[in-house]
Structure 1
Amino acid sequence: MAVDSATLGFPRMGPNRELKFALEKFWRNKISQEELFKVANTVEEANWKKQVDSGVSRVGVGLFSLYDHVLDWTFYLGLAPERFTKLSGLAQYFAMARGVDGIPALDMTKWFDSNYHYEVPELNAKSSPKANFSSYISSIKRALNVVGSNKTVPVLLGPLTYLALSKYDGATLDELLVKVLPLYTQLLDELAGLGITEVQIHEPSLVGASAEKLSKHLPTVYGSKEAAGAIQHEKIAINLATYFEEINHDVYQWFATSPVSAISLDFTRGDNLSVLQKFGFPAGKRLGAGLIDGRSVWKFNPETVLNQVSEIKKVLAASEKTELTIQTSSSLQHVPFTTECEKALNAGETDGLLGVLSFAYEKLAELEVVKKIAEIGEEAAKTEVDAAKKAWAVYYEKNPAKEAVQSRLAAVTEADFKRPSPFAERRPEQLKGLPVLPTTSIGSFPQTPQIRALRRKLKAGDITLEHYRGKIDEQIAYNIGIQEALGLDILVHGEPERTDMVEYFAEKLEGFAFTQNGWVQSYGSRCVRPPIIFADLVRPVDMTVREFVVAQSFTSKPVKGMLTGPVTILNWSFPRKDISRKDQAFQLALCLRDEVADLETAKCVVIQVDEPALREGMPLKPSKKDEYLNWAVDAFRLSTAVAKNETSIHTHMCYCEFADCMHAIDAIDADVNSIENARSDDETIREFKAIGYKRDLGPGTYDIHSPVVPPKEEIVKKLQSFLKLLPPQQVVVNPDCGLKTRKWPETIAALRNMVDATLEVLNPSTSQTQSVAKSRVKKFRAVVSPLYPADIRSGAYASEFRGMYNLALPSGVLYTFITVFTNLLTHKEPACLNLLLPVFYSTHLLEVFATFAGQVLFTY
């Protein structure tokens, strides 16, 4: 039996995130298009070379992307929505991804059950595909030069999956297939002309809930023994790749008699081995066995893989002329590049961990080990297998179960999942005095270069923890002042101390490990560095109470306590493989439960427990859905049910399709749910209304993933559309998501428009909004005008100012503030926001400067 190896895709950002930084420079007009392409091509070609040098027989190429591979296929097929058609080239491509002034971006949602996001194609009856494959063909030509014609295997996103992932209005799947299939045929002709002899066509939708509906189109698309399919070429073999779950049985049975030459199955999720054993494997075809997990950072388990290889070979041996390819279960884009720079993981609490980790580079080596086992036998890879067994033995020896954690889990009862009273009874006790349509933000505020530099200095030991905390407190003061100035009703501290909403909490818990350079792409240029769960989880001390107390000391308005929920921490980490995900979620829930109790003790009356990843963790098979949702809901409730009636529990969810889990979202029993909506045309609100959702809802008023500042009028229309579906008493006003990735000027402008839009909806007379603006100016001038002599640089003036407000601050600091405010007041420098950042940890200074500076900014 012939045995070789293959890959289905590779990480895109570069070992040191070279593409990320190039993209962000390009968006800021710091580099040219040619310079961007140079960086992208360098990263892509280095990826190919690494795979070739590692011995991979069939290198999957063409999945590399400047933003998102689904967006790439919208671009290749010429299916940009009408609002983008006045643009072309890269301008059109990035406009679809990020939006431009007056043109909203495409919707964004999760790629199956992963933490990667794709841009949702928008199609309709008028959609008219037009081939635009030049950039794709250029990439394949470069691959042929680097990889060689005998190893280059272009990857195509299959038409069934592309359409299944699309939103289409006024058109059927059949009608759209008729339109797009000729373009795939054209592409195969072009590839054949380059000497390509095989392509991978990725159809992961054939494993999920839509597989049954899609399977009837397989003969039309790929052919049958009776008739040729549209995607069929006499010179090119088709490898139909599925992943993330067990293949639909009807699809597999069709494959047996189809013209498709090979099928790729994921043997790390679902039970594709049972499918093989039940139906056998057809003669004359090749199996792509996804035995190396493309979504896990753990080294292969020798016993598991040896058994799988043995059973797979038995099935294939029962048929004639079968071939076997050992490959990754999916693209490796879901794991970091390499463990080479993670030596610190072999010391201290994580001693022994590095030996059982495997990132993209290491998985290439594992491919060759498993290929040797499949081709020659276990003895051919004895050294590698023995080393893997030893590494796992060391890991388990150093990480035994923690008795206290296991005992507490065993003691959980049904009462631990229930709030003291139902929502209808506890709601009147919460946040008394809030106006109708209360305004808030989701949690994070912009992470400036100064904040990131401060964090780096702390990590390097260049500053003390006391100094770091003082600077963070200054930023919290500034954040509170800005929100006070805007007139927001429920405030946040802005999370300046947090690198990432999962990593921050993981760092506070025992049982997590952290990489130095373990970045993976989330969407576009955004990368995350998921922590690794390697042991039982314990909260040794409180995690967020200090920052809450600091923030609340600056304001009489309620400040949210900000937590990340147990399911999101789990789904956005690399979980253990030796215990169930449910057990890991419950361990996290108990840690968060203690944090909720401590926040309440600190007088926090609004606690937000974010669960943006609740939906993405749901299994792709409908038959597995209920079990997951049951324990996911229980994990959230275990975290929050300790809260008193008067504590308002908020949650936040975003960028998923929620229709198939609405009852679970209702069952988590949060008092307020702030949910992504800006790119979804109120579809999410209608889904909540359809199930009779009674709790408060905060549909996103604008898309924070776009740098475009939404006009006030646009937000007014959004709010008016909300109020056609929901009573005003049920609506909370907020952006779509946290504001961490935005810049301060666009953040302030957008929040200002959101608040003013809310005021206008509450009172359609524009005079109210105008009077609010005028009062801001008047209040600001009342404070600043006594401090406005001709020469603001006067040392005497600084002394007078210091005495007036009893501020023991250096003259240079006062000069900075006075200069900034004078410029703002006289319109000389309205964009000098960055100079306002060093707000000092002082209630007096907060009141005098942060609040009133914010007010004048929002007016002018």
Structure 2
Amino acid sequence: MLKHNLGFPRIGRHRELKIACENYWAGHIDLITLFEVGKKIRKENWNFQIKSNLDLIPCNDFSFYDHVLDLSLLIGTIPEKYLNPKFDNKMDLYFSMARGYQNNNFDIKAMDMTKWFNTNYHYIVPEFIKEQKFFIYSKKIFDEIEELKLILNSSDKIKPVLIGPVSYLYLGKENDTSFNKMDLIENILTVYIEIIDTLSSKNIKWIQLDEPILSLDLSDREKNCIQYAYRKIYKYFNNHDIKILLTSYFDGISENLYLFEEFFTYIDAIHIDLIEDPNQLDKVLSFIKESNIILSIGIIDGRNIWKNKYINSLKKIEKSINSIGEDRVMIAPNCSLLHVPIDLKYEKSIHINIKNKMSFARQKIEELNDLEKIIKGKNNILLNNSSIINDLKKSNIIHNNKIKKRSYDISDKDIKRISNFSKRQKKQHKAFNLPLFPTTTIGSFPQTKEIRIIRNKFIKKKLCKKEYEKKIKQFISEVIKKQEDLGLDVLVHGEFERNDMVEFFSEKLNGMLSTNNGWVQSYGSRCVKPPIIYGDVSRSEKITTNWICYAQSKTKKLVKGMLTGPVTILKWSFVRDDQSIDQTAYQIAWAIRDEVIDLEKSGIKIIQIDEPALREGLPLKKKNWGGYFNWSIRSFHIASSGVKDETQIHTHMCYSEFNDIIKQISNLDADVITIESSRSNMELLKIFSRFSYPNEIGPGIYDIHSPRIPTEKEIFNLIKKASNFLPKRNIWINPDCGLKTRTWNEVLQSINNMVKAAKIARIKLG
């Protein structure tokens, strides 16, 4: 039985990669220094996994920004516009694709970015042209293999990781409608065969090809591509020593299992996710029993932080061994550990009973060792594990019957607004008297070094509460003045008291906690600390109301209340595993509803309840969508429905493909939805137009994830394009996301251009 890992976090134990990348972008360090940081992180990751007795060590799972973008660079999927500036090195080209590039001679937007399946990780979307040619452009994968060889003094344990050819095509997009990206399968296989051939020549024994699309509802064309791709790869490599491990994760492969009938002579091993779909094991074992294929079972949860229940994992291991033999079984986490923090030992403030039940990336690797030891007879490890997990089953740290009752007792009145949208809209327009194309922002403004220092001092008790609140109020007053000077119509308070849109709420809600160092990569250098939902959730006091009301006291213009929605708090947290997810969602929704009502009572007329995670939380298979939308939309309604018609409810969603869920988005019945559509050049709005979406929309008029400054002309053109799809009276003008990661210089220029463009649009389009 082999132990292996699909991938390891790459940000460094103390976010060294984030710091190095941002210093490089700012010109504070050179490329050599940046590469040294990357090399140090890789070495540390590898050494830990080697000392943990893994039989196969993943390689090429490290990335300076995004592993999908790495593959695009590796195989030359580089749009021509990024080659025009003639960058001095490939890393600057690479970063320009991710972040855009702007100087006196060139102004290039960043490539599209979207969510990695149903996770909170974002990847850079590959762009394909008709008859795209692929070739080896970057040597990163080969260089990292040589690094690991020097540590291991051998190639035997090295397992390079690559996204499979069909999943890579699936994740990309065509630059026009004259072809289908799956038409490129023949071209892309040529470069994959060249890569695998090169790996084989370096005496690599295993290669991991990730095909996560096997967990999806596939079209006939995609299924045919899968079969064609691996038939061709096998035909080329059937006499080579290299073994291919085909991996899939985030759901089961039962519906696509028949594709593998032919595969058993084409691949050496297959990995399945038994965390997301434990019920598939019997079917998979039965299917492969008469073959020689090795089965890798994903039994450690790579997307949550709770300790593995060894008794459950042992049953799966023993069933697999009894069915196909120990020499045909591998054990691993269900997916890459990219999605969890690195090391639990850095957490000093978590209640010991809760901490004992937790497991981060390093601990998850150690759990593989524990399972192997138990199989070899060390039953004390199993007894200790069972004791820890059972200790909290009845603990009042976890359970509160009063909160549970509230989440069960939900009436129709609790989940409906008083009037329908058309009636609410008339009342709101009369009350607010806003101009056509009203301008606003999504919520946050730059989190400067000064703000972070003050917050850090307060957390470490080096600054008293009174002095801290005085400083935050000063920042709020300043940002209100800046917004008034810019001419924005609806203002925000800037969120200076918040470290993160979810973590901030976790620190104010019972049943949730935040970590000291539980960082996880969201995209590029952007890292977040997902909170941990360990018990029943409730609100014991006002969370945002005092800050919002202070901001409103500083202006005659409308100020939005800013809240994070229940689905997003749930999806961007590590969620308890001892009760159904809908009940946890309802508990959070009631806590947010309490805050919404307090904001309204305090005179706040516009309240934004952000739900950027609603789309990403969607199950991968359509057969499971109904149950998900039942509780997720119900949760939003609980949070938002306790207000008067005149109170306007906004929501915000990130990088969402709405084509297949537009009806459900409409069912949210938010008065205004803001979305990210600038990178797609407003193409996202077509579905809202075809659906005749009735409510108001802020289509995200410029991309905040890039440092480039949008021009007044390009923003006006996007407003004009949006007005071709939507009724003008329903369009809001705003950036596509919060501004906390941008500099004040970038923000002031961009918002100024946005407001000017909106004013021109009122004249020319009104």
| TM-score range normalised by the length of the shorter chain | over 0.9
Q: Identify the range of structure 1 (62-71 vs 406-415) with the bigger mean alpha-carbon deviation.
A: 406-415
Corresponding residue number in structure 2 for 1:222: 230
Residue-by-residue CA offset, 1:583-622 (whole Å, 9 max, x unaligned): 1110000001111110000001000000000011111111
- Matching residue within 400, 403, 406 for 2:401: 403
One-letter code aligned to 1:176? L
Please name the residue that 1:726 is paired with.
Answer: 726
Q: How far 1:206 sits from its partner (Å)?
A: 0.8
Structure 2 segments unaligned to the other structure (5+ residues): none
One-letter amino acid of the counterpart of residue 144, structure 1: K
Aligned-pair CA distance for 1:280: 4.6
Tell me the TM-score normalized by structure 2. Answer: 0.96
Contact map agreement 2:141 2:160 (CA 8 A) in 1:
no
After TM superposition, which residue ranges in structure 1, 4 or more long, deviate above 6 angstroms? none
Contact 1:292 1:327 in 2 (8 A): yes
SS of the residue corresponding to residue 538 of structure 1 reads strand
2: distance between equivalents of 1:246 and 1:171?
30
Alignment partner, residue 818 of structure 1: none
Alignment partner of 2:454: what SS?
helix
User: Are the counterparts in 1 of residues 274 and 299 from structure 2 also a CA contact under 8 Å?
Assistant: yes
Residue in 1 that maps onto 2:243: 237
Question: Could you say which residue in structure 2 is the equivalent of 1:193?
Answer: 201
Q: 1:300-347: per-residue Cα shift (whole Å, max 9, x none)? A: 012211222222223324xxx85111111111010001111113213x
**Unpaired stretches in structure 1, ≥5 consecutive residues:** 769-860
Equivalent in the alignment of 1:205:
213
Counterpart CA distance in 1 for 2:658 and 2:319 is 38
- Residue 149 of structure 2 is aligned to residue 152 of structure 1: no
Instruction: Give yes or no for contact 1:446–1:743 (8 Å, CA) kept in 2.
Output: yes
Specify whether residues 213 and 632 from structure 1 end up closer, same or farther in structure 2 by C-alpha distance, changes over 3 A only.
Answer: farther
The alignment-based identity, stated in percent, is 38
- Give distance in 2, aligned partners of 1:601 and 1:247: 50
Aligned to 1:265: 272
Please report the TM-score for the alignment, with normalisation by the length of structure 1: 0.85
When residues 188 and 695 of structure 1 are mapped into structure 2, their CA distance, relative to the original with a 3 A threshold, is: same
Note the C-alpha offset of 1:107. Answer: 0.7
Which residue type is aligned with residue 354 of structure 1? K
> Secondary structure at 2:94's aligned position in 1?
helix
Deviation at 1:410, TM superposition (A): 2.5
Distance 1:66 1:212 in 2: 35
Q: Does 1:352 align with 2:360?
A: no
Amino acid at match of 2:449: P
SS at match of 1:31: coil
SS of 1:250's equivalent?
A: helix
Indicate conservation of the 8 Å contact 1:164/1:210, yes or no: no
Contact 2:374–2:382 (Cα < 8 Å) also in 1: no
The match for 1:121 is 126
Query: Displacement of 1:150 after TM fit?
Result: 1.6
State the Cα distance separating 1:229 from its structure 2 match. Answer: 4.3
User: In 1, Cα distance between the equivalents of 2:191 and 2:688?
Assistant: 39
Report the CA distance shift for 1:381/1:678 in structure 2 as closer, same or farther (over 3 A). farther
State how 1:94-173 maps to structure 2 within 5 Å: 94-101=95-102, 102-147=107-152, 148-168=154-174, 169=176, 170-173=178-181
Task: Check the 8 A contact 2:582/2:631 in 1, yes or no.
Answer: yes
Q: Tell me what 1:308 maps to.
A: 316
Task: Please tell me whether residue 327 in structure 1 is matched to residue 339 in structure 2.
Answer: no
Checking the alignment, whether the CA contact within 8 Å between 1:215 and 1:251 is kept in structure 2 is: no
Preserved CA contact (<8 Å) 2:212 2:250: yes
SS of the residue 2:505 aligns to:
helix
Assess if the C-alpha contact under 8 Å between 2:248 and 2:273 holds in 1.
yes
Cα distance in 1 for residues equivalent to 2:308 and 2:42: 26
Q: 2:716 & 2:150 partners in 1: Cα distance?
A: 55
Q: Distance in 2 between matches of 1:402 and 1:510?
A: 10
Structure 2 partner of 1:247: 253
Give the match for residue 17 of structure 1: 15
Task: Give, as a single letter, the amino acid of the residue that structure 1 aligns with 2:274.
Answer: F
- In structure 2, give the amino acid aligned to 1:714: E
What secondary structure does 2:246 align onto? strand
C-alpha distance in 1 between matches for 2:256 and 2:446 = 49
Match of 2:188 in 1: 180
1:216 is paired with a residue of what secondary structure? helix
Structure 2 match to 1:386 = 383
In structure 2, the partner of 1:701 is: 701
1:656 aligns with 2:653: no
**Does the 8 Å CA contact 1:97/1:105 hold for their aligned counterparts?**
yes
* Equivalent AA in structure 1 for residue 45 of structure 2: N
CA–CA separation in structure 2 for the residues paired with 1:65 and 1:646: 49
Residue deviations 1:130-175 (CA, integer Å, cap 9, x gap): 2114122101111122233121011111011000011113322443
Deviation sequence 1:805-850 (CA, Å, 0-9, x none) = xxxxxxxxxxxxxxxxxxxxxxxxxxxxxxxxxxxxxxxxxxxxxx
- Give 1:30's aligned residue: 28
Say which of 416, 419, 437 aligns to 1:418. 416
| Counterpart in the other structure of 1:289 | 297
Q: Does 1:615 align with 2:612?
A: no
Spell out the pairing of 1:444-463 with structure 2 (5 A cutoff). 444-463=444-463
Counterparts of 1:425 and 1:614, CA distance in 2 = 26
1:797 maps to which residue? none
Question: Displacement of 1:636 after TM fit?
Answer: 0.4
Kept in 2, the 8 Å contact 1:565–1:611? The answer is yes
The aligned runs of 1:18-97 (5 Å cut-off) are 18-86=16-84, 87-88=86-87, 89-97=90-98
SS in 2 for 1:66: coil
Alignment of 1:523-538 (within 5 A): 523-538=523-538
Aligned equivalents of 1:296, 1:210: Cα separation in 2: 27
SS at match of 1:183: helix
Q: 1:265 to 1:181 in 2, by over 3 A?
A: same
Of residues 340, 343, 354 in structure 1, which corresponds to 2:345? 340
User: CA separation of 1:669/1:661 partners in 2, compared to 1, >3 Å: closer, same or farther?
Assistant: same
- SS in structure 1 of the partner of residue 214 of structure 2: helix
Secondary structure of 1:287 counterpart? strand
Cα distance in 2 for partners of 1:186, 1:444 equals 47
1:679 aligned residue? 679
CA distance in 1, matches of 2:13, 2:426: 53
1:508-560 deviation per Cα after TM superposition (whole angstroms, max 9, x unaligned): 10001221100000000000000100000010001111001100001111100
Checking the alignment, whether the CA contact within 8 Å between 1:115 and 1:572 is kept in structure 2 is yes
Distance apart, 1:78 and its partner CA: 0.5
| Higher mean displacement: 391-400 or 69-78 | 391-400
8 A contact 1:185–1:232 mirrored in 2 = no
The 8 Å contact of residues 170 and 182 in structure 2, kept in 1 or not, is answered as no
Q: Measure the CA separation in 2 of the matches of 1:37 and 1:665.
A: 44
TM-aligned CA deviation for residue 684 of structure 1: 1.5
Q: C-alpha deviations, 1:658-710, integer Å up to 9, x for none?
A: 22211111100100001000111212211111211010000011000001011
TM-superposed CA distance for 1:656, in Å, is 2.6
Equivalents in 2 of 1:738, 1:631: separation in Å?
27
Cα separation, 2, equivalents of 1:298 and 1:178 = 43
Tell me by how many angstroms 1:261 deviates: 0.4
* Deviation by residue 1:177-198 (Cα, 9 ceiling, x = unmatched): 1111110111111111111111
For residues 56 and 315 of structure 1, the distance between their equivalents in structure 2, rounded to whole angstroms, comes to 24
> Is contact 1:222-1:232 (8 Å) kept?
no
Number of residue-to-residue matches in the alignment = 751
Bigger Cα displacement from structure 2, 433-442 vs 125-134: 125-134
Q: 1:19 to 1:211 in 2, by over 3 A?
A: farther
For 1:249 and 1:316, the matched residues in 2 are separated by: 22
Please tell me whether the aligned partners of residues 156 and 203 of structure 2 are also in contact (alpha carbons under 8 angstroms): no
CA gap 1:729/1:428 in 2 versus in 1, 3 angstroms: same
**Cα deviation digits, residues 262-301 of structure 1 (max 9, x gap):** 0011110023214225535343221111111111101001
Contact conserved, 1:70 with 1:118, CA < 8 A, in 2?
Answer: yes
Cα displacement (A) at 1:84: 0.9
What is the aligned-residue RMSD (CA, Å)? 1.7
Preserved CA contact (<8 Å) 1:220 1:229: no
Q: CA deviation at 1:372?
A: 3.2
CA distance in 1, matches of 2:754, 2:135: 39
Q: Structure 1 residues 718 and 468, CA, compared in 2 at 3 Å: closer, same or farther?
A: same
